[in-house]
Chains A and B, each alone.
Chain A
Amino acid sequence: MLQTGLDLTSGGLKSSVTTDVSGGSTGTFPPVGGLTVANGDLTIADSNGDAKNLEQPCTLTIVVAGGGINAAGGTASATIAGMGFAVGDTITIAKASIGNPSADAVITITAADLQSASVPEYRYIPVEDILYVVPLTTTTIRLWMKDGANAGTGSAYLVTFSNAADSVDALAAFASDSVAQAIQAENSIPTARFGGGTYPVKPITVVMD
């Protein structure tokens, strides 16, 4: 199951800013890292205005220009996609986190803002010829295929996550468990599960390379 959170294109959320800001400081917010729900920068609500908990947290970066976020030089970008958004959801950005303009900014999610517009919910991976899982980072693993005899330059699936797993070991071990489970399940198609500590993570892309 793939992650279908926010589009990670730089500036991808700019056109969805439905309440722009005026006054306050200009610049990139935050200067380092990202705006998060956990830090009190963001509040997520559904289309009815009710508070909404995401399955996986997102992270945003906002650039406020002289005329606001929607003005020339301003941008709104997701840097970690999150999971659990729907069209009509709103992301309210606390004014204190973006240079203290006169009011909070609001982004209203449209279909174009979601990866589900271009990413299928599921990606099917044949597991029969997977040799083993290669741990790379807390956000990437590789599934080596058996035709990799050419000194490690054979085919492999590169699986990339937007949200980081708790550790490299945990991500690789969960992936290995999922592959083993799938190989053992001849008459069913199990859904791979990754991570399990802070929250389960879902891959954002699976590509053969």
Chain B
Amino acid sequence: MRRHTRRIFNICYRFTGNRTEAEDLSQDVFLRVYRTLASYRSAHGGFATWATSVTRNLLIDHYRRTKRDRITDSLDDKMPVVENKESAGRRPDEQALLGELSKQVQSALTRLSPELREAVILRDLQQLEYAEIQTVLAVPEGTVKSRINRGRIELARILQQMGVRPA
């Protein structure tokens, strides 16, 4: 169970960028899995793939619920800036949690659209295969590859705007 908890927590954290939200969403994922376990069928892929699908659905639902809050917040930060420790707005333990560069990538990830963000997280952070991502997102493989490609390019441009130079 710890292995699944860690994986789902990482997906939620990379998607939301917020530790507290990631914990709450992880709990909701396991609650949903626990309640709908009877509906699990092996045709949906392995249990891990099915749990990832539940996670992705909850993340999208959460994103849509909190969209209005984010719209009002985004009006204040039209110019993305390089985050440093003083302006990160995170707790010191969260700063310690991430590496220097990874936190900037994390910040850039939260600025991607949800469709591109989830594709990049599943491919580059969770190292899932195209077929598995296709099952999780319930879209054709061509769409999966297209979203991953556009997400990577968009992410690189966001980092460039933030002033982060590639290594």
The answer to whether A and B belong to the same complex is no
A interface with B by C-beta (< 8 Å): none
